[in-house]
């Protein structure tokens, strides 16, 4: 029987992993699951780029140090070194797969390959090292990788399918202590309502983040924390979920509520101002607009609270050749009636990137055998308490490669894992006494309540009193939704709501356990950093 690799998610991490497994052997079949269209996810909305040491003026040591500085003491140094040193090779692989990064306007054919590419600089970086495709880097990566995956004979893509739960030995054998091996997943075909059983020798979570837990976010609607919720229910360890990165500059406009204004604009000279027109970042950090994201987001939040304003301004009027360098941003702003070369841009912080997630080792393996994770869903140790800008796409491709290497070894049996031909036989989904939905709860209203609760009580600045309020209310909501979940046949909305609540509760638990302020977690009750007691991961 042909070994099966099941990958949940079709962003950069999922597609990279799929292509590597499929290219490695004609004896492996890869199934990619997309809960919406295959191209819909956080990858396609990544504007900035991918960080990698690419120029002669840069060095691995500087990129490592910049990452450690941003991570506020919680990065795993060995993981940082892995990602930084493997970065150039992984970027070259993307180029070989057809990704078209922006090149210098005037190319010198005598220059070496690396010198041909235009590099941005973003907050927290000491050098220009961000390879980009204008200001649509994620969309270009998604285009190239998805086209390659769609044409691959050993990859099948199931769109409009959402994973319900992972299947583990513990779920099938009641005598099992601990979760045992992961054997695949139950997946809902949202078009037909049928639950599909997908056995797998290797299962990879590449489900992305959880920005939709918050009322204001740069994330697309699919970012509901599914991978974290499923992994935790299955018995895997999760960590550092208190560290949600709020991007400082999301466009404040009713027609583009989730549109990001790339940090690269600040790297090219854009200035933050309050509504009185004052440039304020020098009061908060010597790097001003290029300070790490947690500091910039808190500074904007502080200015808004101090003045009672609903947003701040980003002044990009002095950015040279802004239309040519940031065409997508300029086009979107103009559709909203804003001319960026002459007018200030209204911006607010918004939930952007989950720095914690499912705990993995340096091979991308979770604490459940046969289950791997890569991309935003994974807690690798690269980001620590705060992600350095554009390190996320880097982490995704590095860990896709590491998952592939370890998984391929496991499939061959050399790592003590499963061998070819041993794809598990699994029972079909049992709906129990569930019936078609008759008495509906208002899923949209419940979703809004959870997101508003998280924004108001578990936001950029926190207190234990607010966190406890959030914890108690989330417990009540979970109880109501759980009863509804088990009594009704499944829909995508219901699965996502269940996962959203689970991740929200885990975030609150982690935040309550960290009795200090560090990186993205800032609490009024404990405003100082406590290295003696809390220079460690928060593991659940």
CATH of domain 4-242+355-412: 3.50.50.60
310-330 mean pLDDT: 91
User: What pLDDT is recorded for position 421?
Assistant: 45
- What digits encode the pLDDT tens for the residues 85-138? 999 999 999 999 999 999 886 555 555 666 788 998 887 899 999 999 988 899
CATH topology (fold) of 249-350: Flavocytochrome C3; Chain A, domain 1 (3.90.700)
pLDDT at 35 over 90: yes
pLDDT of residue 416: 40
Distance linking the first and last C-alpha atoms of the chain:
37
Task: Please say if the pLDDT value at position 182 is more than 80.
Answer: yes
What pLDDT, on the 0 to 100 scale, is given for residue 434? 73
Provide mean pLDDT across the span 403-430: 72
Report the distance separating Cα 35 and Cα 174, nearest Å: 30
pLDDT exceeds 70 at position 202: yes
Rounded to whole angstroms, how far apart are CA atoms 526 and 514?
A: 9
Over 50: is that where the pLDDT of 417 sits?
Answer: no
d(C-alpha 504, C-alpha 210), whole Å: 9
Give the mean pLDDT of 43-68: 93
Residue 291: its pLDDT value, please?
A: 86
Whether the per-residue pLDDT at 235 is higher than 80: the answer is yes
Distance, in Å, from the CA atom of 312 to the CA atom of 302, rounded to the nearest integer, reads 10
Residue 165 sits at the vertex; the CA angle it makes with 354 and 228, to the nearest 5 degrees, is: 15
Rounded-to-integer distance, Cα 46 and Cα 48, Å: 6
3-class DSSP assignment, residue 172? helix
* Least confident among 119-128, 200-209, 236-245, 504-513: 119-128
- Supply the DSSP string of 503-520, one letter for each residue: HHHHHHHHHHH--S-BTT
Give the per-residue pLDDT at 442.
82
Position of tokens 């692989």? 93
Our measurement of the distance from residue 72's CA atom to the centroid of its chain's CA atoms, rounded to an integer in Å, reads 19
User: Which residues touch 331 (CB under 8 Å, ≥6 apart)?
Assistant: none
Sheet of 182-189: strands edge to edge?
Answer: 161-168, 182-189, 194-199
Q: In this predicted structure, what is the pLDDT of residue 508?
A: 98
Euclidean distance between CA atoms 298 and 293, whole angstroms? 8
Burial class (CB in 10 A: 0-12, 13-18, 19+), 539: middle
Residues with catalytic roles: 293
Q: Enumerate the domain spans of the chain.
A: 4-242+355-412, 249-350, 443-534
Assign 74 a pLDDT band (cuts: 50, 70, 90): very high
* Mean predicted confidence (pLDDT) in 327-340: 93
pLDDT bin (cut points 50, 70, 90) of residue 147 is: very high
3-class secondary-structure state, position 7:
strand
pLDDT at 419: 44
Report whether pLDDT(340) > 90.
yes
> Distance between CA atoms of 387 and 299, rounded to whole angstroms?
17
What secondary structure letter does DSSP report for 479?
A: H
Task: Taking residues 49-67, report their average pLDDT.
Answer: 95
CA distance 216 to 250: 9
286 CB-contact burial (10 Å; exposed 0-12 / middle 13-18 / buried 19+): exposed
Euclidean distance between CA atoms 364 and 409, whole angstroms: 13
d(CA 156, CA 32): 6
Any residues with CB less than 8 A from the CB of 483 and at least 6 apart, and which?
Answer: none
**Mean pLDDT, all residues of the chain:** 91
Instruction: Specify which residues 73 forms β-bridges with.
Output: none
* Adjacent-strand bridge partners of 244: 354
Q: What is the pLDDT of residues 245-277, one digit of tens each?
A: 998 999 998 877 778 898 889 988 999 999 999
pLDDT at residue 395, rounded to an integer = 98
Beta-strand relationship, 271-273 and 312-315: antiparallel
Kindly indicate the confidence band of residue 418, based on its pLDDT and cuts at 50, 70 and 90.
Answer: very low
- The model's confidence at residue 73, banded by pLDDT at 50, 70 and 90, is very high
Cα–Cα distance measured from residue 425 to residue 167, given in angstroms and rounded to the nearest whole number: 11
3-class DSSP assignment, residue 356: coil
CB contact at 8 A, 284 and 299: yes
Residues above pLDDT 70, as percent of the chain: 94
| CA nearest to 243, candidates 527, 518, 531 | 518
| Cα–Cα distances in angstroms (integers) from residue 518 to residues 78, 160, 377, 402, 503, in the given order | 21, 39, 21, 29, 21
Which residue in 212, 29, 59 sits closest to 129, CA to CA?
59
- Could you say which of 4.10.520.10, 3.40.50.10860, 1.20.58.100, 3.30.1180.20 is the CATH number of the domain covering 443-534? 1.20.58.100
Q: Would you call 162 helix, strand, or coil by DSSP?
A: strand
Residue 106: the pLDDT is 56
Query: Contact at 8 Å (CB) between 314 and 338?
Result: no
Sequence-separated (6 or more) residues with CB below 8 Å from residue 335: 255, 256
The model carries a pTM of 0.91
Render pLDDT for 348-393 as a digit per residue (tens, 0 to 9): 999 999 999 999 999 999 999 999 999 999 999 999 999 998 999 9
Q: What pLDDT was estimated at residue 174?
A: 65
């Amino acid at each position: 029987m042909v070994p099966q690799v099941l990958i949940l998610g079709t962003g950069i991490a999922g597609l990279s992993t799929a292509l590597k497994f499929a290219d490695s052997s004609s004896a492996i079949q890869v199934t990619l699951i997309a809960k919406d269209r295959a191209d819909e996810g956080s990858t396609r909305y990544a504007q900035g780029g991918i960080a990698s040491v690419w120029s002669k003026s840069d060095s691995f040591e500087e990129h490592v140090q910049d990452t450690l500085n941003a991570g506020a003491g919680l990065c795993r140094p060995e993981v940082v070194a892995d990602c930084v040193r493997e970065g150039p090779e992984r970027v070259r692989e993307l180029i070989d797969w057809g990704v078209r990064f922006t090149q210098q306007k005037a190319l010198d054919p005598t220059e070496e390959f690396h010198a041909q590419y235009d590099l941005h600089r973003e907050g927290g970086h000491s050098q220009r090292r961000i390879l980009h495709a204008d200001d649509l880097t994620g969309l270009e990566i998604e285009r190239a990788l998805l086209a390659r995956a769609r044409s691959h004979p050993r990859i099948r893509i199931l769109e409009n399918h959402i994973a319900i739960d992972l299947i583990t030995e513990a779920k099938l054998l009641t005598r099992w202590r601990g979760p045992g091996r992961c054997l695949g997943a139950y997946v809902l075909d949202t078009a037909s309502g049928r639950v599909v059983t997908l056995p797998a020798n290797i299962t990879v979570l590449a489900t992305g983040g959880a920005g939709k837990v918050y009322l204001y976010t740069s994330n697309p609607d699919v970012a509901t924390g599914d991978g974290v919720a499923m992994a935790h229910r299955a018995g895997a360890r999760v960590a550092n979920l208190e560290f949600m990165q709020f991007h400082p500059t999301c466009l404040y406009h009713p027609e583009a509520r989730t549109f990001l204004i790339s940090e690269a604009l600040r790297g090219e000279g854009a200035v933050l101002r309050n509504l009185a027109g004052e440039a304020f970042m020098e009061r908060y950090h010597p790097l001003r607009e290029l300070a790490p994201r947690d500091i910039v987001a808190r500074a904007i939040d502080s200015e808004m609270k101090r003045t009672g304003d609903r947003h701040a301004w980003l002044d990009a009027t002095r950015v040279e050749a802004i239309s040519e360098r940031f065409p997508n941003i300029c086009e979107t702003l103009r559709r909203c009636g804003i001319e960026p070369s002459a007018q200030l841009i209204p911006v607010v912080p918004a939930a952007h990137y989950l720095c914690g997630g499912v705990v993995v080792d340096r091979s991308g393996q979770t604490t459940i055998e046969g289950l791997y994770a890569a991309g935003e869903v994974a807690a690798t140790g690269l980001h620590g308490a705060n992600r350095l800008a554009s390190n996320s796409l880097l982490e995704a491709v590095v860990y896709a490669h590491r998952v592939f290497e370890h998984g391929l070894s496991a499939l061959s049996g050399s790592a003590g894992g499963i061998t070819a031909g041993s794809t598990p036989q699994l029972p079909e989904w049992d709906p129990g006494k569930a019936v078609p939905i008759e008495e509906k709860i208002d899923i949209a209203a419940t979703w809004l309540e959870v997101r508003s609760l998280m924004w108001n009580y578990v936001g950029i600045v926190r207190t234990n009193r607010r966190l406890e309020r959030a914890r108690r209310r989330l417990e009540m909501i979970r109880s109501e939704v759980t009863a509804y979940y088990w009594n009704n046949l499944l829909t995508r909305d219901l699965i996502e709501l269940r996962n959203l609540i689970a991740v929200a509760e885990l975030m609150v638990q982690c935040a309550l356990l960290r009795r200090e302020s560090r990186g993205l977690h800032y609490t009024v009750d404990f405003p100082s950093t406590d290295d003696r007691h809390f220079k460690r991961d928060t593991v659940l």
